[in-house]
C-alpha cells in the first residue's frame, strides 16, 4: 500500500491522489443496484495522458488492479471498485480538443460530459446523437465504455456508431492509437469498435475521435393512448413496417405513467394501459405524425394527441425522461433491466414481463425504447423485505431468460458489468466466451483492468 502510493506520487501531482477513506468510499460504486463493490486503495484523478500512463505502469509493476471510472452513472456495476484497487477517474480530463464542421468530427478527452459536447457541437450546427438518460452527468468515456444508447437510437443508433478512433493507454502503460479521423477506413481489425462497450477491461480511453451529424430540425412528437400494451406494440410494428423513420418511439406502461404523474404531476392519462410517444425530426414532421397517428388508430389507439409545437413535444419527452426516477419512488428500491428483443417480439416481451410480475407478486413498470425493441422493466421492491428482495432478483433473472428465449439480448445498452456477468455466458455460449477471454488476454495478460467485470 505504501509502496503503491509512493510510486504513484512520483509521477502525479498531490491533488491527483485521494487516499482519505471517507472520500475514496464515495467512488466505490456506480448507480447499479445489487452489485457488490470493494474498497479502493486509492482514487487517482489524472489530467493528462502521461499521468494515465504513469498510473498503468505503476499498476503493472505492482500488480494492482485498476478500475476506470467516468461519472459513475452506469447501471450494471461496471465501474464498481474492487478491494485494494486503484480507482482511475477520468473526469478531470474533460477538454474538447477540436470540432470540425467540414470533417464532421469532434476530438475529445474522456471526461467531457455528454451534454457539454452536445451543446458545443450544437452551436456549430452539428449534432452528437447519443443521449442516455444521464446525459447531463455522464461522460463520453463512460458512454464509450458501456456503448450507451438513449432515446435517439431508433433513428441514430448507439454510441458505437459515432466512435471513429481512439487513443488508449494499455494495461502496461503503452499508448495505442486505433481507427481514424476519416469517414471510412478498413485498415486491419476494427480495434476501435472492440473498445466500445468493453467496460474498461481492455485499456483506458484517453482520447476519442467522434463522428458528428448535421443538426436536424427540432423534433415534433405525438402521444397515443392504447387499451393494451399489445395494441401499442402492434402500432410500433406497423410504423416500422411502413418505412417510417421516427427520431423517437417510446412506450410507457400504466405503472410507469402513474409513477410519472405521481412524481411530477405531468397530467399524463392515468387510465391508459400503454402510452406511445413518437417523434419526427424530418422536414415535415406534422405530415409524418399524421400518418403515424392513423397507424396508431388502426392498431386500436383510443386517443392520439400530436404536440402543437416544440415546447409541447419537449414536455412529452420530459415525461419519458422522468420514467426511471419516477419508478424509483414507487418502492424503496428498483432493479432496472435492459432486455432488447427483435421489435416484432416486443409485444411478447412486455406481456411476458407482466406475467412474471404477477407470478412473483411484484410491481414491474415497463418503459421501452419501443422502436428498438429495447425494454427497461423496472422491478420495484422493498429492499428491507428479504422475501420481496429475493423475488425481485428472481423476476429479474426470468426477464432476461425471456429476452433470450425471444431471440433477444440480455443488454441493449446498459452493459454487463457485475450485474449480468453470469448471464453473459448464457448469451454468448462456450465458444463465444472462450474467444472473448482470448481477446482480454491479448490486451491485458495480467488481468489488471477492471477485474471481475463482464466475465
Which of positions 353-412 make contact with a second copy (CB under 8 A)? Answer: 369, 371-374, 407-412
- The residues in 319-348 that bind a second copy, with binding defined as CB under 8 A, are 340-344
Regarding 318 and contact with a second copy (CB under 8 A), the answer is: no
User: What is the size of the binding site for a second copy (CB under 8 A)?
Assistant: 88
Determine the interface stretch with a second copy among 79-87, 113-121, 197-205, 262-270 (rule: CB under 8 A).
197-205
Residue 352 near a second copy by CB under 8 A = no
| Position among 17, 120, 191, 354 found at the interface with a second copy (CB under 8 A) | 191
CA 450 to chain centre: 18
188 lies in the binding site for a second copy (CB under 8 A): yes
Q: Which residue, 243 or 386, is less far from a second copy as judged by CB?
A: 243
Contact 12, 54 (CB under 8 A): yes
* Cβ neighbours around 404 below 10 Å, total: 15
Tell which residue, 268, 266, 261, 290, has the closest CA to residue 278: 290
Smallest distance, Å, CB 103 to a second copy? 5
Q: Looking at residues 261 to 290 of the shown chain, list those that interact with a second copy (rule: CB under 8 A).
A: 282-284
Reading phi first (left if > 0) and then psi (alpha if -120 to 50, else beta), residue 165 is in beta
Give Dmax over CA atoms of the chain in angstroms: 70
Name the residue nearer to a second copy (CB basis): 116 or 344: 344
> Is the four-CA dihedral 383, 349, 351, 327 of positive or negative sign?
positive
Q: Which residue lies nearer to a second copy by CB, 218 or 344?
A: 344
Give the integer Cα–Cα distance in Å for 59 and 3.
Answer: 11
Question: Which residue matches cell numbers 405503472?
Answer: 255
Cβ at position 235, least distance to a second copy in Å: 12
Q: How many angstroms separate the CA atoms of 44 and 21, rounded?
A: 13
Three-state DSSP state, 256: helix
In 220-310 the beta strands, taken as DSSP E runs, fall at 220-226, 248-253, 274-280, 303-306
Over the range 74-113, which residues count as b (16 or more CB within 10 Å of their CB) and which as e?
bbbbbbbbbeebbbbbbbbbbeeeebeeebbbbbbbbbbb
Residue 313 interacts with a second copy (CB under 8 A)? no
List the interface residues with a second copy, window 139-178 (CB under 8 A). Answer: 146-147, 149, 153-154, 158, 160-161, 170, 174-178
Closer residue to a second copy, CB minimum distance, 4 or 433: 433
Residues 224-253 that bind a second copy (CB under 8 A): 237, 240-241, 243-245
Instruction: State in angstroms the smallest separation of the CB of 169 from a second copy.
Output: 11
Nearer Cβ to a second copy, position 359 or 426? 426
**Pick 21 or 407: Cβ nearer a second copy:** 407
* Contact positions with a second copy (CB under 8 A) in 103-132: 103-105, 125-126
Angle value at C-alpha 67, between 62 and 68, nearest 5 degrees:
120
Amino acid at each position: 500500500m505504501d509502496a503503491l502510493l509512493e510510486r504513484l506520487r512520483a509521477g502525479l501531482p498531490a491533488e491527483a491522489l485521494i487516499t482519505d477513506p471517507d472520500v475514496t468510499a464515495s467512488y466505490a460504486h456506480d448507480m447499479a443496484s445489487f452489485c457488490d463493490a470493494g474498497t479502493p486503495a486509492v482514487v487517482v484523478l489524472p489530467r493528462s495522458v502521461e499521468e494515465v500512463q504513469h498510473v498503468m505502469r505503476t499498476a503493472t509493476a505492482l500488480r494492482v488492479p485498476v478500475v476506470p471510472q467516468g461519472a459513475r452513472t452506469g447501471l450494471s456495476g461496471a465501474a464498481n471498485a474492487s478491494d485494494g484497487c486503484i480507482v482511475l477517474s477520468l473526469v478531470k480530463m474533460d477538454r474538447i480538443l477540436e470540432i470540425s464542421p467540414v470533417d464532421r468530427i469532434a476530438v475529445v478527452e474522456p471526461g467531457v460530459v455528454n451534454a457539454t459536447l452536445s451543446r458545443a457541437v450544437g452551436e456549430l450546427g452539428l449534432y452528437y446523437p447519443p443521449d442516455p438518460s444521464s446525459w447531463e452527468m455522464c461522460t463520453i468515456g463512460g458512454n464509450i465504455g458501456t456503448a450507451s444508447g438513449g432515446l435517439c437510437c431508433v433513428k441514430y443508433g448507439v454510441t458505437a456508431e459515432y466512435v471513429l478512433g481512439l487513443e488508449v493507454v494499455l494495461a502496461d502503460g503503452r499508448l495505442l492509437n486505433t481507427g481514424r479521423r476519416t469517414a471510412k477506413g478498413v485498415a486491419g481489425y476494427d480495434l476501435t469498435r472492440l473498445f466500445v462497450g468493453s467496460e474498461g477491461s481492455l485499456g483506458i480511453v484517453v482520447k476519442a475521435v467522434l463522428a458528428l451529424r448535421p443538426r436536424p430540425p427540432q423534433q415534433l412528437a405525438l402521444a397515443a393512448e392504447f387499451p393494451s400494451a399489445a395494441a401499442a406494440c402492434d402500432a410500433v410494428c406497423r410504423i416500422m413496417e411502413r418505412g417510417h423513420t421516427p427520431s423517437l418511439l417510446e412506450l410507457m406502461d400504466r405503472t410507469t405513467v402513474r409513477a410519472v404523474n405521481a412524481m411530477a404531476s405531468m397530467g399524463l392519462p392515468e387510465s391508459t394501459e400503454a402510452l406511445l410517444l413518437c417523434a419526427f425530426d424530418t422536414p415535415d414532421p406534422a405530415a409524418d405524425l399524421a400518418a403515424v397517428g392513423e397507424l396508431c388508430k388502426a392498431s386500436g389507439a383510443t386517443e392520439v394527441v400530436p404536440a402543437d409545437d416544440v415546447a409541447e413535444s419537449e414536455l412529452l419527452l420530459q415525461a419519458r425522461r422522468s420514467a426511471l426516477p419516477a419508478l424509483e419512488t414507487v418502492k424503496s428500491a428498483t432493479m432496472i433491466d435492459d432486455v432488447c428483443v427483435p421489435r416484432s417480439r416486443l409485444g411478447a416481451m412486455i406481456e411476458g414481463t407482466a406475467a412474471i410480475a404477477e407470478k412473483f407478486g411484484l410491481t414491474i413498470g415497463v418503459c421501452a425504447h419501443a422502436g428498438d425493441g429495447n425494454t427497461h422493466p423496472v422491478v420495484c421492491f422493498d429492499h428491507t423485505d428479504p422475501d420481496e428482495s429475493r423475488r425481485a432478483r428472481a423476476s429479474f433473472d426470468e426477464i432476461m431468460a425471456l429476452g433470450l428465449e425471444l431471440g433477444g439480448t440480455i443488454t441493449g445498452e446498459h452493459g454487463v458489468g457485475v450485474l449480468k456477468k453470469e448471464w453473459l455466458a448464457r448469451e454468448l455460449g462456450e465458444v463465444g466466451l472462450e474467444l472473448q477471454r482470448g481477446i482480454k488476454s491479448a490486451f491485458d495478460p495480467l488481468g489488471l483492468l477492471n477485474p471481475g467485470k463482464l466475465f
